[in-house]
Structure 1
Amino acid sequence: MTKLLWKSLLAGPAAIGAALAVSGAAVAAEAQPIEESTSVDALEQVSFDQEPVQLSQVTSVSQFSDVQPTDWAFQALQNLVDRYNCIEGYPNGTYRGSQALTRYEFAAGLNSCLDVIAQLIQTDAVTAEEFAAVQALQEEFRNELDTLRGRVDALEADVDELEANQFSTTTKLRGQVDAHLGIPFDSFDSPAVEDSTSFTSRARLNFDTSFTGEDRLRIRFQTGFSGSQLAGFNGYANGGGDSGNFEVNDFYYSFPVGERLDVIFAANSIATDSFVTSTIVPWDGPSIGDAGGPLFYDAGADGGAGAGFSFALTDRIVLDAGYSFDPDGGADPDIGIFQASSQSYIGQLSYIGDVLQAGVAYVHGDGSDAFTGGLPGGVDTFGGLLNFNFGRFSVGGWGAYSDFEGDDDFSWMAGVTIADLVLEGTTLGVFGGELPQISYGGIAPADNPFYVEGYYEIPVNEFLTITPAVIYGDAETGGDDDGFWGVLRTTFRF
């Protein structure tokens, strides 16, 4: 409040100068009106853009207990207040602040009246006697106004410096719990595939910290119970967990460098597709099965440490690259990060348009269990992704060619999504195709597994989402490993 009063004083001399400049004729002869052009020109030199003070109106200067009624300045200001009702103060009738500065605070009351007087100049409502009283008050408080001017300038410089250098460290807690009720409608020969009704769950706590407002330090804790439902198709998208044990599932720091470059460093659990700006296909995320995400990204080993970047070549075109490795081998000086087992790297060039989204990617992975069953060697994969977004309706897909020590493999997926079908906010998705030859349970498929899923995502509110799905899959292991599943996923977010 004190600073606001000090700032208001700065307009005092200017307002008096303007008033005297435009009122010469009024002082000499009160009957002659002030010319409008002269008044406007003078008022242009005065700033009246002071912030309003939301306080109770005081209508008599005698309410200010710290101003003595015997002072001539009190009586002069009282006359102006009584005539123009031009002072605002605190409800208890005092100016608060340092009691040694009552002259400065009193001058602030004078300045409040000057605002009203300046507005009345054009109406010829201010008398010569009142102008003379105002001029005398200005002379009386000139030293205080000059002193305050220097103090306010210094304070404003300090505030500007503080605002330019301030930052606030903010940590937000976000949580998500996914529960799956899976019902197989068929029996299966493979012991790795669960053929009974099961219930699995996963819980995650994300601690996101920002130091600048644009960066993110994420520490994620995860626990859960995962079964073997959809094991031949890489399991549930929101599955995982170590038999109810808490683990640090994510630990990374991402930050921008300039306007077009974003960098990420991860200590553990970095997934290959975590390095890309977009996986393009619209069912990656809402789908029940992990097969909904382009599985060729899994040719790179997950769960390691690494670093990557995203560089915006234009507003629509983005180049992503990343490298990850087994943190145990990376910590061994005899191995190093570039000789560690289970290392992988990825590069992707994407176009992110309003209607068309497309990307081309290259992924290299050493020791990826998903494709090689733990056999030594590397997998090189070239993939393409495409999606057309027509608002409520999207159609897209992906295709990939993989090479593992001379053996090649082709996989693909295509599908559609429809938003706001029947219920507002819902999404219907149907997709299917041939998956990469994923190894699971020590069994290598004789051919590419075939997978089809239809899901209906229903957001009940901002915290709860229910997603029922029907899935058909053929694991192609040579036995009776094809059939239907019904799955209901419930997701809580907080």
Structure 2
Amino acid sequence: MKNLKALLAVPAAFGAVLAVSGNAVAAESLVEENLVESVAVESVAVEAADTVEAADVMVAEPIQLAQVTSVSELSDVRASDWAFTALQRLVEEYGCLEGYPDRTFRGNRAMTRYEFAAGLNACLDVVIQLIGGGDLTDVRRLQEEFAAELATIRGRTDLLEADVAELEANQFSTTTKLRGQVDAHLVVPFGEADGEVPLLDDDGNQATDPDGTPLTTRDTLEEADATFEYRARLNFDTSFTGEDRLRLRLQASDSASSLVNAGGLASQSGRRNGFEDNIGLDDVYYSFPIGNRISGIIAANSIVTDDFVTSTIVPYDGPAVADVSGPVFYDQFAGGNFGAGVNFAFTDNLVLDLGYSSEASNVNTDDGGIFEEYSYIAQLNFLTDGLFNAAVTYIDGESDELDTPDYTIAGLLNLDFGRVEVGGHYAYSPSDDGDQDSYGLGVTVPDLFGAGNQLGLYGTILPDDEDEPLVVEAYYQLGLNEYFSITPAVIYADNDSGDDSENIYGALRATFNF
């Protein structure tokens, strides 16, 4: 604290120099009177010599002045003077300002070198007293004592600067970041699941081989063995303003052969067009802000309806292993090769999502362009950091798929009680073949036995106009570190068709992020 006061006193010292201080002020005044008398009686040469002698004599015997304790003691200083505050601090806080013998300050007169020396000396005395040692010995001692530590810090700083320079010289890009993720699944089926089950592509449509033949699972899973499946992603994220993002994603995955009557794996993308171990361009989109409360997105590939929404609300969407953990009504309408959306944040809690996607990307396709086969979505979200999160959703569109409903109206809800979250959804989807209602309910325990972990249990009825397939999953996501997590799960599936097509799966997912 004393050293801090000393530092604060330094400006005051220079203020005192510019003002006036000490005995040299009075001495200089008496010297002037003596010089005037000598001019009247002697020649110019003698006058100059006597002036020097008189000055030497008078400085040697200065008049001692009493310390000024308040600026009000100086009769010619007024509160309206532009330097009043500075003079007040020099007198009352630092005590290093004195006036002339007649208690005047004479602020408009020129300063002599004597006054400069006297004022500087007076305030330096105050600085020395504030640092408590009478001189700067302690300061010098501390500098010498910590010389080694200071040198070490200086060396580390130089090393960091060299490392930063090397990174800047060899970085992948000044605007693009490369992020990767690999999901590996070990799935073991138990029990029996008779009958053919259609394979779906990433958009929820019937998958086909290159010749257009629909793909299904084998007729029976009685002798099914454990399977190992993977998905690998490389995301190239580019930002031009710091708030926007251009994403290009390369993706590879094997074809899905597990969880056949449970909707497939959440981290599985190799079913499109029946190709296995394919490497291709997946996401291509650009998201950007439009002002403070509006953001937009334009996509050129692999866009689906839930890509436009701020949140799917339910807490088990993402950590769970089965794909149906994400509300399945989003997948009833096909996505496509073109999409555009906008998000309006009316307040910090109320957000409106709008999106449009089309299977065709140009007018030269057989689909007739981006306005021929399409879907659109509107979702109003109420999002908080507290107990209640909810959304209402409307999806509609035009599609040639036979199982596409006329439209979908859905509601989503999540109640966050701190240690436990309860969430679910309900969707009504009428069609010419009958209503395809779907709903789900689940509970999660976040941060169980560590930050980032999650224990979850949910059940969902898939949209179907006849059998009402049921899927139930219990899982535990365990984050071992920021790069690696494992998620064991048990999944039960029953399509209620009466042909013993039910099954239980044990699954283990390992996720690597880099």
Bin the TM-score by the shorter chain: 0.5 to 0.7
2:302 matches 1:282: no
**Which residue is equivalent to 1:207?**
236
Change (3 A) 1:237 1:118: farther
Match of 1:359 among 383, 391, 399: 391
Change (3 A) 1:119 1:417: farther
Structure 1 residue 423: Cα displacement: 5.1
Cα deviation per residue 1:55-112 (whole Å; 9 max; x = unaligned)? xxxxxxxxxxxxxxxxxxxxx9xxx9xx9xxxxxxxxxxxxxxxxxxxxxxxxxxxxx
**Which residue is equivalent to 2:348?**
315
1-structure distance, mates of 2:402, 2:423? 33
**Which residue is equivalent to 1:346?**
377
Identity of aligned residues (%): 49
Q: Is the 8 A contact 2:186 2:229 kept in 1?
A: yes
Change (3 A) 1:475 1:259: same
Change (3 A) 1:482 1:229: same
Q: Is the 8 A contact 2:360 2:368 kept in 1?
A: no
Match of 2:124 among 120, 136, 146: 120
2-structure distance, mates of 1:24, 1:466? 79
Secondary structure, in 3 states, of the residue corresponding to 1:297? helix
**Which residue is equivalent to 2:17?**
19
Structure 2 residue runs of 5 or longer lacking an equivalent are: 1-9, 28-61, 72-82, 91-112, 130-172, 197-215
Q: Is the 8 A contact 1:416 1:429 kept in 2?
A: yes
Change (3 A) 1:417 1:20: same
- Give the AA of the match of 1:481: S
Q: Is the 8 A contact 2:264 2:323 kept in 1?
A: yes
Structure 1 residue runs of 5 or longer lacking an equivalent are: 1-11, 47-75, 84-113, 126-167, 369-373, 438-444
1:332-481 to 2 correspondence within 5 Å? 335-339=368-372, 341=373, 343-353=374-384, 354-367=386-399, 374-375=401-402, 379-405=406-432, 407-422=434-449, 425-437=452-464, 446-477=466-497, 479-481=499-501
- Give the AA of the match of 2:396: H
2:217 matches 1:190: no
- Give the AA of the match of 1:27: V
Structure 1 residue 378: Cα displacement: 5.3
Structure 1 residue 33: Cα displacement: 6.5
Change (3 A) 1:124 1:415: closer
1-structure distance, mates of 2:122, 2:433? 90
Q: How many residues align?
A: 362
- Provide the alpha-carbon RMSD of the alignment: 3.4
**Which residue is equivalent to 2:249?**
220
**Which residue is equivalent to 2:506?**
486
Structure 1 residue 214: Cα displacement: 1.2
Structure 1 residue 44: Cα displacement: 8.9
Cα deviation per residue 1:338-370 (whole Å; 9 max; x = unaligned)? 22x2x11000011112110011001114337xx
Cα deviation per residue 1:376-396 (whole Å; 9 max; x = unaligned)? 865310000011001120011
Cα deviation per residue 1:273-319 (whole Å; 9 max; x = unaligned)? 11111100000000100100000001221243111011111211111
Q: Is the 8 A contact 1:331 1:337 kept in 2?
A: no
Change (3 A) 1:13 1:487: closer
Q: Is the 8 A contact 2:460 2:472 kept in 1?
A: yes
Structure 1 residue 480: Cα displacement: 2.5
- Give the AA of the match of 1:237: A
2-structure distance, mates of 1:34, 1:395? 76
**Which residue is equivalent to 2:34?**
none
**Which residue is equivalent to 1:69?**
none
Change (3 A) 1:376 1:473: closer
1-structure distance, mates of 2:290, 2:455? 38
Match of 2:85 among 27, 41, 45: 41
1-structure distance, mates of 2:89, 2:399? 77
Q: Is the 8 A contact 1:446 1:478 kept in 2?
A: no
Cα deviation per residue 1:149-180 (whole Å; 9 max; x = unaligned)? xxxxxxxxxxxxxxxxxxx9532211110000
Change (3 A) 1:124 1:13: closer
**Which residue is equivalent to 1:65?**
none
1:130-209 to 2 correspondence within 5 Å? 170-191=175-196, 192-193=216-217, 195-209=224-238
Structure 1 residue 491: Cα displacement: 0.4
Q: Is the 8 A contact 2:329 2:408 kept in 1?
A: yes
Structure 1 residue 446: Cα displacement: 3.7
Q: Is the 8 A contact 1:188 1:482 kept in 2?
A: yes
**Which residue is equivalent to 1:52?**
none
Change (3 A) 1:379 1:304: farther
Structure 1 residue 186: Cα displacement: 1.5
Structure of greater Rg? 2
Name the stretch that deviates more: 285-294 or 397-406.
397-406
- Give the AA of the match of 1:427: Q
**Which residue is equivalent to 2:141?**
none
Choose between structure 1 and 2: higher strand proportion: 1
Q: Is the 8 A contact 1:470 1:484 kept in 2?
A: yes
1-structure distance, mates of 2:127, 2:420? 66
Structure 1 residue 124: Cα displacement: 11
Secondary structure, in 3 states, of the residue corresponding to 2:410? strand
Structure 1 residue 43: Cα displacement: 6.9
2-structure distance, mates of 1:217, 1:185? 43
Change (3 A) 1:26 1:244: farther
